[in-house]
Structure 1
Amino acid sequence: MNKNSKKPIIYQVLPRIFGNMQRPAKEYGNIEENGCGKMADFTPEALDAIRQLGATHVWYTGILEHATRTDYSAYGIPKDHNAVVKGKAGSPYAVKDYYDVAPDLAVSVPDRMAEFEALVERTHEAGLKVLIDFVPNHVARQYHSDAKDPLEPDLGQNDDTSRAFARDNNFYYLPGQALAFHFGAKQEDFEYSEFPAKVTGNDCFSATPGRNDWYETVKLNYGVDLQGGGTKYFYPVPDTWHKMLAILRFWIARGVDGFRCDMAEMVPVEFWQWVIPRVKSWKQVIFIAEVYQPALYRDYIRTGGFDYLYDKVGLYDTLRSVVCGHAPASRITECWQAVDDIRPHMLSFLENHDEQRIASDFFAGRAEAGIPAMIVAATIGTGPVMVYFGQELGERGMDEEGFSGRDGRTSIFDYWSLDTLRRRCHGGRYDEALLTDTERSLLHQYTAILRLSREEKALAEGTFFDLMYVNPASDSFDPARQYAYLRKADEVVVLVAVNFADTPRRVRIRIPEDAFRAMSIPDNTPARLTDLLTGTVAIGTLTHACAYEVELPPCSGRLLKFDYSGLS
């Protein structure tokens, strides 16, 4: 086992929901009716449960102060206008103060920053690292920092609002036009005033953004004249760049170990090339980019300096299609081939706050169907693996919370709690007493998969050999529903074989001479064989002369470790 592996296992969690043990009272309920989780809910016991799952990093989603319909004006926090807040709780990605913590998450609102710093300390004491969001592309429409250094100008404070674009403006403007909402037709929509209108966060250059636009946010200007053909004005460095660097430095000083950078591809790569080395000169934090355009991947890694990128358009989309029976398992090969030169930088996942839950009616309908995909996501490469809180318990995401609606996702806009998590943490104890047999089994499988993906050296750091090209469709192998490959480190080989079908299958997997040669595997030599998911130990042999036969359970897989060390 490789206890010192550098492979990150990231547990993404929405504190607003994670620690909320109050059963929701109503759809669109406010904070009093539905409750809200706190940073204090991440007790040593809670953090230990996350670590025991196999996590190395916790991504606390929604830490930064964002627009909300909850009134905190009694604490000196300006009230947000309802017209520019989505849901009662508001979107964590409509940040209204980069230098502050969401008051919802504090037991004592005036002490919210101290509570965050205590959370960081507890997380570190639990042996975990802290990731938070950095949202560089857009901010809440009513952005105003009352927590920053009062001697430093706020975003937009010195903008020339008579100009649509200026290099040192922090925002883009629509001179002479007032913002207007033509959806909903609520009185509050007419009461909100913004003149001149700022450009909306999803590059909507209209004074009348629609309901499907990011209408609650405004776009930040990094020195690119988007209205003028995309001309770049990077020298001297634009004002927004300096402000963003200061924000990153602020959070590093509070112990943060890394940033998940929201919609990084909407910010010019030149900014990242400038800012990331400066940040890393202070502390070796990690930067994770949300990028959905494969043509940009290498720019954001090699030029921009990102450590990791979402593998969404490739691996996530493909695994989802395979689980749902819309694509053959053999298509997974195309995913790793497309990013083979940058594979260590690709972050794999099956759920996050943007995607539908595996167990939802919109995805697989049951969490168990995602197990083979999780095995592949966790063991196909050396890059990070991410799970979304509740995924390990089969959370379905089928509640109708309010703004989010019944869409197969856990709402980021509403005050809510999850039944699976309430039962997992009954009375403050993180045990399995109130879990169903299915939930308990799922938790054990996720724990085994995640821990093995990091602790087994062949899976965390080893080389890779895809076996699909020598295993075409036959009576003993179905490439539409089975997938197989090898991982190797030192004198250990792991044969990974998964079955996406909901029936068991006895398969015969051919391993070519090329694999034995390329990976220096002893051919037809007895090895100590361990089934890593069951712990069963035997003697096994791999040879190119005949296929290896293995029984694959339904919607699952096998991780078969052949250990040749100590052979005479």
Structure 2
Amino acid sequence: MPDWTEHVIWWHVYPLGFVGADVTGVDRRPTHRLRMLVPWLDYLLELGANGLALGPVFTSRTHGYDTTDYLEVDPRLGDTADLEYLLAEAHSRGIRVMLDGVFNHVGREFGPLVTALADPAAPENALFRRTPTGDLVAFEGHDALVTLNHADPAVADLVAGVMTYWLDRGVDAWRLDAAYALPAEFWAGVLPRVRDRHPEVYVMGEVLHGDYAEFVAASGVDAVTQYELWQAIWHGLAEANFFELDWTLTRHNAFLGAFVPYTFVGNHDVTRLASQIPDARHQAHALVLLLTLGGTPAIYYGDERGLQAVKEERAGGDDAIRPAYPESPADLDPAGAATFVLHQELIGLRRRHPWLHTATSRPLTLTNTGYVFEVTDGSHRLVVALNLSDEALPVDTDATPPLAGTADAGPAGVTVPPHGWAIFG
């Protein structure tokens, strides 16, 4: 991976939602909203992040994942000049920018698809997958999303061209949407062409499950989304089952031997962390895990304010988890200030221990409600203690006071209070 990724922490934003654009397809009037993100760049830095991971910004009909033009900014967000201005403002602050590339499928208004549907003999027909009966292949049953034919060299040319086009304009990284749905061999053919021109690009693929390390090796991406860890963190805390988390960390350690996963506890596709974990006393534990475990962490906008929202399987069911933000940080609800400060504290701790990027873990104490583990890179070491119970959790350490969190040192030794957490040096 590029050296700069060792120190990047992403703030993940879904732009269409953030700026309050209509995503139903009704109101697509051109509006220069993308510049509304510029006042938030200093907020990103104040949080402790230094990367801006943007959701879809290219022209689409509705939610951004039905791309209709890869080389134009969605008019609801503005134009290319607006994106280039945002890139310049970010880079002037030392902030890296990642774009979301939806290269598995396109929207029904994608130009070559319109041409193909109008003329069955048009060469553009080769760009799209069809069933044996000649029907277009929809992505996961969504008729509005038409799957590209990744066996056609012209599709590889298209994707490599799009990625290079925006990298030429200053983009630093790519998220590959639904990377799991494409043959790994497709990426293995495309990415060397992109890196030949932009060797410092960071490429992260969306992969839900399976052998992450095998996919990374076969595809040539730098990293994939660590959904297994996301699931184990929120579910283990919600259900008071640290055994689930510990089992997942065994796999996570193995992944770290092959690549550095993209880690998160929230994103644009899932119910908010603060809604996943009903006991508010245990929500901080998730952030402690995210920022002490190996990986490249991402904070989904709103999570740093403790926002709650539930994803629903219906039309518009993602809207609640993709909300509009106010014009400036000064307009934020002050109720989220404490959660923001906690993020600052834990991100600051990670900054002071950059070796955590590739650190592995091992359990020291493990029960359903108590988990003490060591994170190390072989030369450095931290001990993390998480307590979900009504009783104090003993920790075998003399490194007090803790670097973060709360612990008590008494005649019987060091303990973490009920429902508390602590990080020891």
Same fold, TM-score > 0.5, yes or no? yes
1:41 paired with 2:8, answer no
Q: CA deviation at 1:118?
A: 0.5
1:467 and 2:353 matched: no
Structure 2 match to 1:435: 334
Is 2:129 aligned against 1:172? yes
Taking a change above 3 Å as real, the CA distance of residues 128 and 222 of structure 1, as seen in their structure-2 partners, is: same
Unaligned ranges ≥5, structure 2: none
The within-5 A match list for 1:17-32 is: 17-20=17-20, 31=27
Residues 141-183 of structure 1 show CA distances to partners (whole Å, capped at 9, x for unaligned) of 1202xxxxxxxxx4685799769xx9981102358x7xxxxxx
Is 1:62 the counterpart of 2:40? The answer is: no
- Amino acid of the structure 1 residue aligned with 2:155: T
Deviation at 1:14, TM superposition (A): 1.6
Residue in 2 aligned with 1:549? 414
Whichever residue aligns with residue 385 of structure 1, its letter is P
Distance in 2 (alpha carbons) for counterparts of 1:366 and 1:98? 43
Letter in 1 for 2:93: A
Identify the residue that residue 320 of structure 1 maps to in structure 2.
234
C-alpha contact (below 8 Å) 1:160/1:169 kept by paired residues: no
8 Å contact kept, 2:31–2:75: no
Q: How far does residue 394 in structure 1 lie from its aligned partner after superposition?
A: 1.3
Work out which of the residue numbers 369, 374, 377 in structure 2 matches 1:486.
Answer: 374
The question of 1:277 aligning with 2:215 is answered no
Residue 306 (structure 1) shift: 1.1
After superposition, residues 410-449 of structure 1 pair within 5 angstroms as 410-411=321-322, 417=324, 421-422=325-326, 428-430=328-330, 434-436=333-335, 439-449=336-346
Q: How far 1:245 sits from its partner (Å)?
A: 0.9
* Corresponding residue of 1:115: 82
Q: Which residue of 2 aligns with 1:354?
A: 269
Please list the CA deviations of residues 388-412 of structure 1 after superposition, one character each: whole Å capped at 9, or x if unmatched. 1101111112599x9324x79424x
Contact 2:16 / 2:63 at 8 angstroms: preserved in 1?
no
Describe the superposition over 1:186-221 as per-residue Cα deviations: whole angstroms up to 9, x where unpaired. xxxxxxxxxx6422122xxxxxxxxxx212110100
The count of residues paired between Structure 1 and Structure 2 equals: 417
What is the CA-CA distance between 1:532 and the residue it aligns to?
2.4
CA deviation profile, 1:264-290 (whole Å, cap 9, x unmatched)? 011111111111122112111111111
User: Which moves more between the two structures, 366-375 or 280-289?
Assistant: 366-375
Task: Note the C-alpha offset of 1:102.
Answer: 0.7
Aligned to 1:228: none
Post-superposition offset of 1:366: 6.2
Which amino acid in the other structure matches residue 99 of structure 1? L
Counterpart of 2:203 (choices 287, 294, 298) is 287
> Structure 1, residues 334-359: CA drift from partner, whole Å, max 9, x if none?
11222433224212211111100122
Percent sequence identity over matched residues?
22
Q: How does 1:205-354 map to 2 (within 5 A)?
A: 213-223=141-151, 238-283=153-198, 284-295=200-211, 297-312=212-227, 314-325=228-239, 328-343=241-256, 344-354=259-269
| 1:223-263 Cα deviation digits (max 9, x unpaired) | 1xxxxxxxxxxxxx722111111111111111111111011
1:122-137 mapped onto 2 (5 Å cutoff) = 122-137=89-104
The alpha-carbon deviation at position 455 of structure 1 amounts to 3.1
Q: In structure 2, what is the equivalent of residue 566 of structure 1?
A: none
- Closer/same/farther in 2, CA of residues 531 and 255 from structure 1, 3 Å limit: same
Change (3 A) 1:367 1:13: farther
Alignment of 1:550-565 (within 5 A): 550-552=415-417, 554=419, 556-561=420-425
Amino acid in the other structure paired with 1:560:
F
Structure 2 CA distance, aligned partners of 1:171 and 1:95?
A: 14
**Contact 1:16–1:36 (Cα < 8 Å) also in 2:** no
2: distance between equivalents of 1:19 and 1:355? 20
Letter in 2 for 1:499: N
Q: Does the 8 A contact of 1:19 with 1:36 survive in 2?
A: no
Q: Compute the TM-score of the two structures, normalised by the length of structure 1.
A: 0.65
The answer to whether the aligner puts 1:364 opposite 2:359 as a matched pair is no
Q: Could you tell me how far 1:450 is from its partner in structure 2?
A: 2.3
Q: Report the secondary structure of 1:467's partner residue.
A: strand
Q: Residues 384 and 36 of structure 1: is their aligned pair in 2 closer, same or farther, counting only changes over 3 Å?
A: farther
Cα 1:467–1:365 shift into 2, 3 Å = closer
Question: Greater helix share, 1 or 2?
Answer: 2
Q: Give the conservation status (yes or no) of the 8 Å contact 1:101–1:116.
A: yes
Supply the AA of the counterpart residue of 1:201: F
CA offsets, 1:330-386, max 9 Å, x none?
Answer: 2212112224332242122111111001223xx2246653211221122121x1111
Q: Please report how far the alpha carbon of residue 17 of structure 1 lies from its aligned counterpart in structure 2 after TM superposition.
A: 2.8
Give the letter for the 1:173 counterpart.
Answer: R
Structure 2 length as normaliser, TM-score?
A: 0.86
CA distance in 2 between counterparts of 1:60 and 1:240 reads 23
1:456 corresponds, among 350, 353, 359, to: 353
Name the CA distance, whole Å, in 2 between partners of 1:368 and 1:5.
32
Mapped partners of 2:52, 2:194: distance in 1? 20
Contact preservation (8 Å) 1:509, 1:547: no
Q: Offset at 1:11? A: 1.1
1:103 to 63, 67, 75: 75
Report if aligned partners of 2:185, 2:219 keep a CA contact under 8 Å in 1. yes
Instruction: Please report how far the alpha carbon of residue 510 of structure 1 lies from its aligned counterpart in structure 2 after TM superposition.
Output: 4.4
